[in-house]
Amino acid sequence: MTLRAMRCCAKLLSHSWAAGKDTDDAVRAGSGHSGQIFSIANMPTVVLMDSSLSMTRPVSVEGSEEFQRKHLAVHGLTMLFEHMATNYRLEFTSLVAFSSLWELLVPFTRDYNTLQEALNNLEDYDKTCLEAALQGVSNVVQQEWGTSCPCQVVLVTDGAMGIGRGSLRHSLQTLKQRTDDKKFPLPFPFPSKLYVMCIANAEEFQASDGLDNLEQLISLNGGEGQIYTMEGPLCLKSVQTMFGKLIDQAYSPLHAVLRCGNLASDVQVFPRPEPVLIDEEVDPIPKTVQTDLEIVGFVEIGDISSPPVISRHLVLPIAVNKEGDEMGTGTADETEEEPSTNQMAGKSPNFCVLLHGSLKVEGMVALVQLGPDWFGMLYSQADSKKKSNLMMSLFELGSEPLPWLGRMSQLGPASDAAENPYGEDDSKSPFPIQPKNKRSYAQNVTVWIKASGLQTDVQKIFRNARKLPEKTQTFYKELNRLRKAALAFGFWELLKSVAELLERECTLLPDSAHPDAAFQLSHASQQLKLASTGDSKYAAFEHNIAPMLTDFSGGGAERM
């Protein structure tokens, strides 16, 4: 990446600097790759450009024409736009210029020519008032993307953050005196990274409190972001180095190799998966996705069953040329060869395409290992326009990210099992894994916190009591359930009451009742009474009251 960035720079340097005209060509050359290198937008970018008068301060460069700081800023952004046009073509970017007021020059777009044009036609205004501009950014992003889409904000400034009212220092000083309707725009309500590109070198910067204020700004944004300053004299080269660092940090895709045994493909993973911290007790170290994505096996979509994921990424196959540089990026002389090379790439078989096709047809996902104790899944994702793509979703870090799959390290080849877990005719599945204990809602638990719960359980017994002897089994089942709960809760009074009720029920039996009913009722009543004494002989929890064996019931005959 750095190599590539440097090459871009080299090329830019070879052109004479003239209001960005030549760089337009560079952008066009970049967009000439259309259709070959893809990226997706997952993190829209807002470029917040300082167009205050201080940006027009001249930079003294020996032996060449005079530059303004603004020119350096435009030069750096041109480099960023060119990079994105080449590598992040589906990224949405917008351009906001600010001074004492702010203006949305280009709404979110993928058209980098428009962005470049607006940048080239930038006018100069008055003083720097950052707070209003940040509020503007916040509004622009929320209107377009809501509050859950992560955004990157690239603030380009000379580091002179204004004086008096409206200056950043003033804003920060009055931070605590805000009412709810005039809150400081940071932290942004959406996940964000704030990158500050200072067209100033660190030394001159340290003299003022500008750096402190900007650092405070980043910490207000929850530490999400970074400040870049220029090293050495202010010149084209150092601005390129600075933007090169930003590109490396925030705009470089992940290059990886997707493997399935001996089958492999070089891929780009978009967007770059963020490092993950696990909330452990000891030394949390951010975990990053390894560049070897190793498929460990396959699972049916129905078995994986909409698993929770921490992020989604496009997996795009890339052709790697001999120098190990990916194609479609880099210098102009490469672009000339590209069409043929790319055609070759399109026509030579790629494992990703094969995998995608089969995953789609079979309705399966591939489980892929992303690092130690970290897994994800690959699957075919189709959009409404019948285009489909290979996607990778990342599971939560850990040895058991999905309870219904169990421990990932214990997943092995189905062919190793003594009996095919999928059945000979594919009618079975070893998933989901059944937990050892049933949850409360899956077992008939007894809860009497509400009086109605208790009343329902008592009623159930008597509903069955009136249908004796047909309902003998259910009658005793309900009776035993009540008995168990009453014993556990130490609710012996209830046992006595129900015993009395059963006794009374017995006396109230109509003449037409089956003679067995009376026997069972008095038997049940007597047993409950015994249990209510707490006598360990009768009040054992695991004991169940068995139906009385009578002459009328089936068992009675045997006994005789």
Which residues inside 71-130 make contact with other proteins, applying CB under 8 A?
90, 92
Considering only residues 288 to 347 of the shown chain, the ones binding other proteins according to CB under 8 A are 294-302, 304-310, 312, 314, 316-319, 343, 345-347
Residues 6+ apart with CB under 8 A from 528: 479, 483, 495, 496, 498, 499, 502, 545
Tokens standing for 453? Answer: 């719960």
- Minimum CB distance to other proteins smaller for 492 or for 552: 492
Which window, 125-133, 243-251, 482-490, 544-552, contacts other proteins (CB under 8 A)? 482-490
Ranges within 430-459 binding other proteins (CB under 8 A): 430-442, 445-451, 453-456, 458-459
Which token pair is 401?
A: 């990210």
* Secondary structure class of 256 (helix, strand, coil): strand
Out of 48, 352, 394, 548, the only residue in the binding site for other proteins (CB under 8 A) is 352
Total chain residues near other proteins (CB under 8 A) = 147
- How many whole angstroms separate alpha carbon 392 and alpha carbon 42? 14
Min dist CB 558 to other proteins, Å, is 32
> CA 25 to CA 10: how far, in whole Å?
15
Residues 54-73 that bind other proteins (CB under 8 A): none
Minimum CB–partner distance for residue 312 and other proteins (Å) = 7
Q: How far is the CB of 111 from other proteins (least distance, A)?
A: 14
Q: Which of residues 460-479 bind other proteins (CB under 8 A)?
A: 462
Site for other proteins in 534-553 (CB under 8 A): 534, 536, 539-542
530 is a contact residue toward other proteins (CB under 8 A)? no
- By beta-carbon proximity to other proteins, the closer residue of 185 and 317 is 317
For 159, left (φ over 0), alpha (ψ -120 to 50), or beta? left
Q: Is 65 exposed, middle or buried (0-12, 13-18, 19+ CB in 10 A)?
A: exposed
Q: Bridge partners of 154?
A: 47, 195
Residue 403 makes contact with other proteins by CB under 8 A: yes
Binding mask 414-433 toward other proteins (x if CB under 8 A, else -) reads: xxxx---xx---x---xxxx
98 vs 448 by CB, closer to other proteins: 448
Under DSSP, is residue 266 helix (H, G, I), strand (E, B) or coil?
strand
Beta strands in 116-253 (DSSP E): 151-157, 192-201, 225-230
Work out which of 248, 404, 473, 515 binds other proteins, going by CB under 8 A: 404
Q: How many CB atoms lie within 10 A of CB 495?
A: 22
Q: Using the rule CB under 8 A, is 35 a contact of other proteins?
A: yes
The two three-digit tokens of residue 172, written as one number: 């920060």
Nearest-approach distance from CB 480 to other proteins, in angstroms: 13
Least distance (Å) between residue 116 CB and other proteins? 22
- Matching residue, tokens 């007021």: 101
Q: How far is the CB of 36 from other proteins (least distance, A)?
A: 8
Nearer CB in complex with other proteins: 25/541: 541
Looking at the DSSP bridge assignments, the partners of residue 101 are: none
Q: How many CB atoms lie within 10 A of CB 310?
A: 14
CA distances from 508 to 48, 255, 460, 471 (A): 87, 83, 18, 18
Q: In whole angstroms, how close is the CB of 355 to other proteins at the nearest point?
A: 7
Report how far apart, in Å, the C-alpha atoms of 77 and of each of 98, 224, 425 are: 16, 21, 60
Output the smallest distance, CB 229 to other proteins, in A: 30
Going by C-alpha positions, the residue among 222, 204, 270, 268 that lies closest to residue 69 is: 204
Tokens of 104: 């949305």
Neighbouring residues of 36: CB distance < 8 A, sequence distance ≥ 6: 327, 328, 338, 342, 345
> How far, CA to CA in Å, does 114 sit from each of 19, 106, 117, 124, 257?
15, 8, 5, 19, 35
**From the CB of 540, what's the least distance to other proteins, in Å?**
8
Which residue number, 50 or 505, has a Cβ lying nearer to other proteins?
505
Nearer to other proteins, 14 or 306 (CB): 306
What is the identity of the amino acid at 518? A
Binding test (CB under 8 A) with other proteins, winner from 66, 383, 425, 558: 383
Closer Cβ to other proteins, 285 or 488, answer by number: 488
Q: Tell the smallest beta-carbon distance from residue 258 to other proteins (Å).
A: 12
Segment 249 to 288, residues that bind other proteins, using CB under 8 A: 260-263, 265, 279-282
Q: In the complex with other proteins, which residue's Cβ is closer, 437 or 512?
A: 437
Q: Enumerate residues 135-174 that contact other proteins by CB under 8 A.
A: 145-149
Instruction: Tell me how far, at minimum, the Cβ of 489 lies from other proteins, in Å.
Output: 5
Smallest gap from residue 215 Cβ to other proteins (A): 25
Contact criterion met (CB below 8 Å) for 480 and 527: no
Q: Is the Cβ of residue 90 or residue 163 nearer to other proteins in the bound state?
A: 90
Amino acid at 404: W
Positions in 175-234 near other proteins (CB under 8 A): 189
